[in-house]
Amino acid sequence: MRKIKVGMVGCGFAAHLHVDSFKKVKGIEVEVVEVASRTRQSSELFAKKHNIPRHYTDYRYLLENKAIDIVDVCVPNYLHKKVCVDSAKAGKHIICEKPLTGYFGEDLSESVEFVGTSVPKSKMYKKAVENADEIVETAKMNKVKLAYAEDLVYAPPVQKAKRLIRVSQGTILDMRAEESHSGSHASYSRTWKLSGGGALLRLGSHPLGVVIHLKNYEGIIKDKSPIRVKSVTAETGNLTHLPSFVKEKRKWVVSEWKDVEDWAAVFLTFEDGTKATVFSNDITLGGVVNTVDIYLSNSIIKCNMASNNSCKVYAPAPDIFGDEYLTEKLETKAGWNFPSPDEDWMRGYPHEMQDFIESVCCDRNPISDGELGKQVVQAAYAAYLSAEQGRTVKL
């Protein structure tokens, strides 16, 4: 079987997860041959660390390299559409990080700083769905695979849940899913212009992706047709703007949000009338919350991708475990903690890369594809519209 050659765009947090997972792909040789990022310093450092032969500050060099099969898009959200569309037109298969895209005020004057508070959500909803459509359609037209890097679709607990759902033949009546923590490390996440939204889009796209995927899956295994989202009701909030929080001197959660929300709750109703609730926020201390609870007509399945107690540790002081990683977004290593023995594995990163590489090699669709990415964008922006207008939005 031939070697698959990858060009990476971006070399920050997500890129590290991806490059480590490419190394774990079994049965097919994968080589990251080029990387592009915003600064020479960061691309050089990343290339050196991972033995990548060439590095650039302009991703278009990757598109000119005929040897590259896949472009892996790990840049801030506002750049996803441009890099994906250019890559598809250059005949490259695509792996795109979540969210697939959104609305970033691309049609506004440069001087508009706070897109999140300047544009009605009805317009954002329409534009975001158009952006998602453009990516999916360009990939289709150019006959390239579009893999949507929703790792939780591949997380071993979710894979197990899918096998149990299949044998149970039950109806998924209700799902309650959450991704929350104490705030993103990434500077681009503070403004709508770069991130396309706050906690709802940035964190909520994960649980939205999983619950939508699971109902799609139920429909396909039972009737060969995915069950999609029919309507969305939501609320959003800015809890770190509240006077009592602002007054506190010592901040434990990120509080530099500009025009993006730090809290969201979304209710989904599917075409068959069943429900899902998705929570996402940036005000949760104690490490990442990453759960999907599935209530079927004949069983219950609870998936927890973080804070599992397979390993439980105690230390009276935070320095006792030194530099050893425990788990994401933990404020202190003191006291009782639940280190993840293999966090990447638990969240499905190696599994998604295995599927994406196989999909290119075997010329089949990836399990998490552009269509799922589009459904997530639509649900998330319908939620923004619902929260703004105080009504249920029909998709």
Kindly write down the DSSP assignment for every residue of 31-77, as one continuous string. Answer: EEEEEE-SSHHHHHHHHHHTT-SEEES-THHHHH-TT--EEEE-S-G
Residue 138, SS3 per DSSP: helix
> Is 7 near ligand NAD (CB under 6 A)?
no
Min dist CB 299 to ligand NAD, Å, is 28
Task: From residue 213, give the alpha-carbon distance in Å to each of 92, 170, 255.
Answer: 25, 16, 32
Min dist CB 284 to ligand NAD, Å, is 16
> Is 77 near ligand NAD (CB under 6 A)?
yes
CB 121 within 8 A of CB 316: no
Q: How many residues bind ligand NAD (CB under 6 A)?
A: 24
| Distance between CA atoms of residues 350 and 286, nearest Å | 25
4, 7, 8, 10: which one contacts ligand NAD (CB under 6 A)?
A: 10
Min dist CB 151 to ligand NAD, Å, is 5
**Among residues 77, 98, 289, 284, which one has the least CA distance to residue 190?**
77
Q: 188-247: which residues touch ligand NAD (CB under 6 A)?
A: 188
> Is 344 near ligand NAD (CB under 6 A)?
no
| Distance between CA atoms of residues 146 and 328, nearest Å | 28
> Is 126 near ligand NAD (CB under 6 A)?
no
Pick 97 or 261: Cβ nearer ligand NAD: 97
User: Which of these segments, 37-45, 227-235, 314-322, 384-392, binds ligand NAD (CB under 6 A)?
Assistant: 37-45
The strand pairing partners of 294, in sequence order, are 175, 301
Min dist CB 223 to ligand NAD, Å, is 30
Residue 124, SS3 per DSSP: helix
User: Which of these segments, 3-11, 167-175, 264-272, 365-373, binds ligand NAD (CB under 6 A)?
Assistant: 3-11
For the chain, the first-to-last Cα distance in angstroms comes to 43
> Is 75 near ligand NAD (CB under 6 A)?
yes
4, 6, 8, 9: which one contacts ligand NAD (CB under 6 A)?
A: 9
30, 71, 76, 219: which one contacts ligand NAD (CB under 6 A)?
A: 76
User: Which of these segments, 13-21, 278-286, 292-300, 357-365, binds ligand NAD (CB under 6 A)?
Assistant: 13-21
Min dist CB 352 to ligand NAD, Å, is 9
6, 19, 36, 353: which one contacts ligand NAD (CB under 6 A)?
A: 36
The Cβ-side half-sphere exposure at 19, using a 13 Å CA radius, reads 22
> Is 98 near ligand NAD (CB under 6 A)?
yes
**Which residue stretches of the chain are H helix?**
13-22, 40-49, 60-64, 80-89, 121-141, 156-168, 192-195, 199-202, 205-223, 243-247, 343-347, 349-361, 370-389
Min dist CB 296 to ligand NAD, Å, is 27
Pick 72 or 259: Cβ nearer ligand NAD: 72
User: Residue 255 has what DSSP assignment?
Assistant: -
The 150-169 site mask, x for binding ligand NAD (CB under 6 A), equals -x------------------
Cα 17 versus chain centre, distance: 12
Pick 101 or 138: Cβ nearer ligand NAD: 101
| Distance between CA atoms of residues 195 and 189, nearest Å | 5
Q: Which two tokens mark 115?
A: 């897109």
Query: Site residues (CB under 6 A) for ligand NAD?
Result: 9-15, 36-39, 42, 59, 74-77, 79, 97-98, 149, 151, 186, 188
